[in-house]
């Protein structure tokens, strides 16, 4: 039967479904083909089988090999070997699609062998359907740990990598050789199809490294060889074109700077072609070299998330950068080169510190990461490259590099670049943007120099030193001085921190005064205002520490009553700071929840800031325990809105659930035996993949352990004299924790540099009484019946959120009537609105949780806020209708405004806040 089923080049087009049916139908008629794989192998080997059908066959095989569970893949080693041999034969096929399919099959076979030989290890292979070649979103953190490879693994790995690189070089040569046929001037126009081929090949390498991180070093070695080959092609075929491209990128038009910096998320790692060259003058090799550098950055970022891989990659990355300096030095003035060097240096120095911590016996007590100012070496390296970029007037590349410095907390270099760019584009439409960045960066730099004042001499010295970029960038000090002078204890910092806070507020004022609408620069202004709020709280904490951290010389004359009074004063002051820090953590939660289109790294950055505020709130609340201290005065009356349980609960929700030891330690602070875990995420839990997140978690464990020991010591306090000792010991412990807190760098999220309209909703309220057409009113003593129309904007089209339900809260208070009906501020009031939004968001989340669990929700009795809730069904039209009753029966006569907040819950019970884009309606009680 099969002998009659011959194909020719004139056969009709065969679709994959038809081919698969043909394979299944003829499996039992093909001699020696007992499986589908065997059938496809015979068809591929058949010379009369059309090439396009063989491509379909390879695609079917690729789907078969991508089974995630190895136990369901019934393919023996001999079949895999035969398939590998068949794929190798097509590596040099005339059809590029067939070559790519063969490479993909070889890669999947490699993973299949690993699954069969190492079934106990998890290999995270990425299917082509879920892997983006224009970027790397969704790279799984569950990667295979580095292990000892066999010689067979190394041979297979080398063969696959060599084949991929050979294909890239072959493509570059093909386009270079046909340049004269396309354009007489020698310029090559890169089609989207050509670039897609490069991205696809680089994507295969990323797929290999993501599933097998041990391949990273070999991949970097191949990339270095590729870079050298591309540089030679560029030198021989495109010297004039490349020079013109570099020149055009050195002096970009002001308009290009304006559009790009304000509208593009420039630091997103992807494999798309760069914008530094004009499209009309772009050479294929120029674009390919930049693609290669971008690939190296993405590859390094991916491996950075695996254990012990960053240290191993250091020499490979160093060899690659040296190759660029020697063979393609014009690309040293690109952001991609800057980022590659900085990423490698930061991860390498961090690895060295962590290795030192592991070797020291007291690493848990005093981890070195808090004492070693490694950022000075990083600043020196970054500054050396930034000077070169500004000297060449490569302002766009310098600006992107400064953005990266903001993501890493390198504020000296960032401030230097912002000053240069601000001076060059002061008269441009976005000159205020650079001015705001300069003010903010200068404040954060001053915060760093408070802790290490002598660092300014080293950094200014590096700034005034003229060095050739081609000198070894890795010669900048890496073993940072342990002799670097540190500032004394946190005495006298209040005035300086207050000055920094004022400068931060000025940065926000610059954005506010230049905003065309209330919602422009919304994220940036909100983020800066939260930073300013933290600095104000920090000033108050420093005031408390300076007043009580030093013990008096003679405490024997202190009476019990005076000791109790002092203790109560300190406790009340710390409680107020703790409450404000807890509210600030919730504000960061709301900031993250209100931007559903935020990238993952930005979300992680904001989640860390929320975690640190919650941690500091916990430390200020529990640093001193006077529960067993005798005293003649009455116990301190804490604010009604404060409770130790809520502070502890908030921190507990943010902790890694797998860390059973620290969870157990947290529970020892209170008599509560267990905590309820919510199905709706009420707080942003910090991701532990980054260095800064790991350092923050180390500080958290250090603080919890230290406070737990201090709590145990306080149980023996029986006299007022001992209580005073305990007070000052608690203040010194809090001072030590706070200093380590301040030594961790403050960084900006990537989303800060992405300006776009907000995701939000508009709520329209109507009186359910048909008689009230033009206004909303209710007789005194009655409830207000409202009809609601909720309209959400830019949510469905800009985010992957699949909305399951939408909720809305309406709230008003009888103690805040309007003096002028319908007043509305022309300028957005950040502080008032943020505080109001946090309160309403918290109540709304409680209601959403109760609704999902089908349980009742009780309002707090002590608040006079009157609230009502409404639920809306998601609709493709982007709007929904509902109604509610607002109990204003106790309100006196007057006019009141309704505040409101909305949120949506997706199919995974994750909650996202939707920013209110209009004011609530005004109603009257008659």
DSSP notation for 671-713: S----PPPSS--S-PPP--SHHHHHHHHHHHHHHHHHHHHHHH
Is residue 414's pLDDT more than 90? yes
Is residue 13's pLDDT more than 60? no
Which tokens sit at 684?
A: 């942003």
Higher pLDDT, 726 or 676: 726
| Alpha-carbon distances of 581 from 613, 846, 924, rounded to whole Å | 6, 21, 37
Q: What is the mean pLDDT of residues 669-681?
A: 52
Distance CA(300)–CA(481), nearest Å, equals: 27
Least confident range from 232-241, 431-440, 797-806, 822-831: namely: 822-831
Q: What is the mean pLDDT of residues 734-760?
A: 90
| Alpha-carbon distances of 150 from 88, 125, 153, 303, 778, rounded to whole Å | 21, 20, 5, 20, 80
Is residue 58's pLDDT more than 80? no
Least confident range from 150-159, 599-608, 790-799, 851-860: namely: 851-860
Average pLDDT for the chain: 75
Share of the chain above pLDDT 70, in %: 68
pLDDT, position 431? 85
What's CA 89's distance to the chain center, in Å?
43
pLDDT, position 178? 60
Residues 6+ apart with CB under 8 A from 700: 611, 615, 655, 662
For residues 228 and 323, the answer to whether their CB atoms sit within 8 Å is yes
Confidence of residue 74 (pLDDT cuts 50, 70, 90): low
DSSP string, 179-195: HHHH-TTS--PPPHHHH
Distance CA(810)–CA(478), nearest Å, equals: 56
Is residue 121's pLDDT more than 60? no
pLDDT, position 56? 76
Confidence of residue 610 (pLDDT cuts 50, 70, 90): very high
pLDDT, position 191? 58
Q: What is the mean pLDDT of residues 365-392?
A: 77
SS3 label, residue 438: helix
Confidence of residue 355 (pLDDT cuts 50, 70, 90): low
Is residue 781's pLDDT more than 70? yes
Distance CA(137)–CA(139), nearest Å, equals: 6
Radius of gyration of the chain (CA): 32
Confidence of residue 427 (pLDDT cuts 50, 70, 90): confident
Question: Can you say whether the dihedral through the CA atoms of 750, 752, 755, 757 is positive or negative?
Answer: positive
Distance CA(315)–CA(102), nearest Å, equals: 32
DSSP state of 392: T
pLDDT, position 478? 47
pLDDT, position 464? 85
∠ CA 761-767-771 to the nearest 5 degrees? 150
Distance CA(158)–CA(164), nearest Å, equals: 10
Confidence of residue 330 (pLDDT cuts 50, 70, 90): confident
pTM of the predicted model as reported, rounded to 2 decimal places: 0.83
pLDDT 10s digits, 464-480: 887 655 555 555 554 44
Residue 228: which H helix or E strand, with range?
helix 216-237
Confidence of residue 363 (pLDDT cuts 50, 70, 90): very low
Distance CA(598)–CA(798), nearest Å, equals: 10
For residues 14 and 50, the answer to whether their CB atoms sit within 8 Å is yes
Confidence of residue 338 (pLDDT cuts 50, 70, 90): very high
Number of Cβ within a 10 Å radius of residue 89: 11
Distance CA(533)–CA(504), nearest Å, equals: 10
Q: What is the mean pLDDT of residues 781-795?
A: 89
Confidence of residue 727 (pLDDT cuts 50, 70, 90): confident
Higher pLDDT, 766 or 685: 766
Is residue 89's pLDDT more than 90? no
Confidence of residue 359 (pLDDT cuts 50, 70, 90): low
DSSP string, 767-821: ESSTT-SS-EEE-TTSPEEEEEEEEEESSTTT----EEEEEEEEEE-TT---SST
Least confident range from 61-70, 550-559, 628-637, 822-831: namely: 822-831
Distance CA(344)–CA(359), nearest Å, equals: 23
What's CA 487's distance to the chain center, in Å?
32
Is residue 309's pLDDT more than 70? no
Higher pLDDT, 811 or 153: 811
Instruction: Tell me the pairing of strands 911-916 and 760-767.
Output: parallel
Is residue 78's pLDDT more than 50? yes
Is residue 219's pLDDT more than 50? yes
Confidence of residue 560 (pLDDT cuts 50, 70, 90): low
pLDDT, position 524? 94
Higher pLDDT, 362 or 423: 423
| Alpha-carbon distances of 493 from 442, 450, 454, 617, 699, rounded to whole Å | 17, 8, 16, 20, 22
Least confident range from 77-81, 753-757, 810-814: namely: 77-81
Higher pLDDT, 527 or 195: 527
Closest CA to 400 of 605, 260, 300, 242: 260
pLDDT, position 361? 47
Higher pLDDT, 355 or 167: 167
pLDDT, position 484? 59
Closest CA to 852 of 681, 682, 676, 679: 679
Distance CA(376)–CA(459), nearest Å, equals: 7
pLDDT, position 233? 80
Q: What is the mean pLDDT of residues 200-221?
A: 86
pLDDT, position 532? 95
Confidence of residue 583 (pLDDT cuts 50, 70, 90): very high
């Amino acid at each position: 039967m099969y002998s009659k089923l011959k194909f020719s080049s004139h056969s009709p087009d065969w679709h994959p479904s038809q081919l698969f049916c043909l394979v299944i139908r003829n499996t039992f008629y093909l001699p020696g083909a007992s499986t589908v794989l065997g059938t496809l192998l015979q068809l591929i080997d058949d010379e009369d089988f059309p090439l396009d059908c063989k491509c379909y066959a390879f695609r079917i095989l690729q789907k078969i090999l991508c089974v995630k569970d190895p136990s369901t893949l019934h393919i023996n080693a001999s079949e895999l070997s035969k398939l590998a041999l068949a794929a190798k034969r097509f590596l040099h096929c005339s059809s590029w699609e067939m070559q790519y399919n063969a490479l993909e099959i070889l890669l999947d076979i490699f993973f299949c062998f690993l699954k069969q030989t190492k079934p106990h290890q998890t290999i995270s292979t990425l299917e082509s359907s879920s892997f983006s070649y224009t970027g790397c979103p969704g790279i799984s953190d569950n990667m295979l740990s580095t292990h000892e490879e066999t010689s067979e693994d190394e041979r297979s790995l080398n063969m696959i990598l060599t084949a991929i690189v050979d294909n890239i070089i072959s493509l570059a040569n093909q386009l270079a050789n046909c340049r004269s046929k396309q354009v007489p001037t020698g310029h090559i126009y890169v089609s989207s199809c050509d670039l897609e081929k490069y991205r696809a090949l680089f994507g295969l390498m990323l797929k290999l490294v993501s599933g097998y991180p041990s391949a990273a070093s070999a991949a970097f070695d191949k990339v270095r060889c590729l870079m050298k080959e591309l540089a030679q092609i560029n030198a021989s075929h495109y010297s004039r074109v490349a020079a013109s491209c570099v020149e055009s990128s050195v002096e970009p038009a002001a308009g290009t700077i304006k559009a790009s910096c304000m509208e593009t998320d420039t630091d997103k790692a992807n494999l798309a072609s760069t914008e530094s060259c004009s499209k009309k003058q772009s050479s294929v090799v120029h674009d390919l070299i930049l693609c290669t550098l971008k690939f190296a950055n993405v590859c390094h970022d991916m491996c950075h998330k695996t254990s012990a891989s960053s240290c191993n990659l250091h020499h490979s990355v160093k060899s690659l950068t040296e190759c660029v300096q020697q063979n393609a030095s014009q690309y040293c003035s690109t952001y991609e080169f800057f980022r590659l060097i900085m990423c490698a240096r930061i991860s390498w120095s961090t690895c060295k510190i962590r290795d030192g911590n592991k070797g020291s016996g007291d690493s848990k007590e005093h981890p070195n990461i808090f004492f070693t100012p490694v950022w000075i070496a990083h600043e020196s390296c970054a500054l050396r490259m930034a000077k070169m970029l500004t000297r060449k007037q490569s302002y766009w590349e310098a600006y992107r590099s400064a953005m990266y410095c903001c993501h890493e907390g390198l504020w000296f270099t960032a401030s230097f670049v912002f000053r240069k760019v601000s001076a060059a584009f002061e008269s441009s439409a976005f000159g205020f943007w650079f001015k705001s960045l300069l003010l903010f960066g200068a404040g954060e730099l001053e915060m760093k120099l408070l802790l290490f004042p002598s660092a300014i001499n080293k950094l200014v010295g590096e700034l005034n030193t003229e060095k050739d970029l081609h000198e070894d960038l890795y010669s900048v000090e890496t073993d940072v001085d342990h002799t670097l002078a540190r500032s004394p204890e946190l005495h006298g910092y209040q005035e300086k921190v207050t000055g920094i806070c004022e400068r931060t507020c000025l940065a926000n004022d610059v954005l506010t005064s230049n905003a065309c609408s209330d919602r422009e620069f919304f994220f940036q202004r909100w983020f800066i205002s939260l930073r300013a709020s933290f600095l104000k709280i920090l000033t108050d904490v420093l005031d408390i520490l300076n007043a009580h951290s030093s013990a008096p010389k003679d405490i024997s004359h202190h009476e019990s009553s005076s000791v109790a009074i002092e203790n109560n004063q300190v406790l009340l002051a710390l409680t107020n700071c703790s409450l404000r820090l807890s509210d600030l953590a919730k504000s960061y939660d709301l900031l993250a929840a209100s931007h559903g289109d935020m990238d993952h790294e930005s979300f992680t950055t904001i989640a860390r800031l929320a975690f640190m505020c919650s941690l500091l709130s916990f430390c200020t609340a529990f640093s001193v325990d006077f529960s067993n201290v005798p005293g003649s005065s009455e116990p301190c009356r804490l604010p009604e809105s404060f409770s130790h349980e809520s502070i502890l609960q908030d921190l507990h929700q943010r902790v890694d659930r797998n860390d059973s030891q620290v969870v157990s330690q947290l529970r020892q602070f209170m008599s509560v035996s267990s905590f309820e875990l919510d199905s709706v995420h009420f707080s942003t839990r910090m991701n532990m993949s980054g260095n800064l997140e790991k350092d923050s978690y180390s500080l958290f464990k250090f603080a919890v352990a230290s406070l737990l020991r201090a709590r145990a010591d306080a149980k023996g306090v029986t006299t007022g004299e001992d209580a005073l000792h305990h007070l000052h010991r608690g203040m010194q412990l809090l001072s030590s924790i706070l200093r380590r807190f301040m030594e961790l760098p403050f960084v900006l999220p990537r989303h800060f540099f992405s300006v776009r309209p907000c995701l939000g909703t508009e709520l329209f309220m109507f009186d359910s009484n048909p008689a009230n057409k033009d206004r909303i009113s209710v007789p005194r003593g009655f409830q207000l019946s409202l009809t609601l129309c909720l309209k959400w904007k830019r949510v469905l089209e800009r985010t992957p959120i699949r909305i399951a339900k939408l909720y809305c809260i309406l709230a008003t208070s009888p103690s805040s009537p309007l003096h002028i009906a319908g007043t509305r501020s022309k300028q957005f009031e950040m502080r008032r609105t943020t505080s109001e939004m946090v309160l309403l968001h918290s109540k709304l989340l409680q209601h959403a949780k109760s609704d999902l669990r089908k349980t009742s929700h009780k309002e707090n009795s002590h608040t006079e806020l009157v609230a009502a809730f409404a639920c809306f069904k998601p609709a493709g039209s982007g709007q929904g209708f509902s109604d509610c009753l607002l109990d204003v029966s106790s309100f006196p006569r007057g006019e009141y405004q309704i505040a409101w907040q909305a949120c949506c819950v997706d199919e995974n019970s994750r909650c996202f806040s939707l920013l209110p884009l209009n004011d609530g309606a005004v109603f009257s009680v008659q």
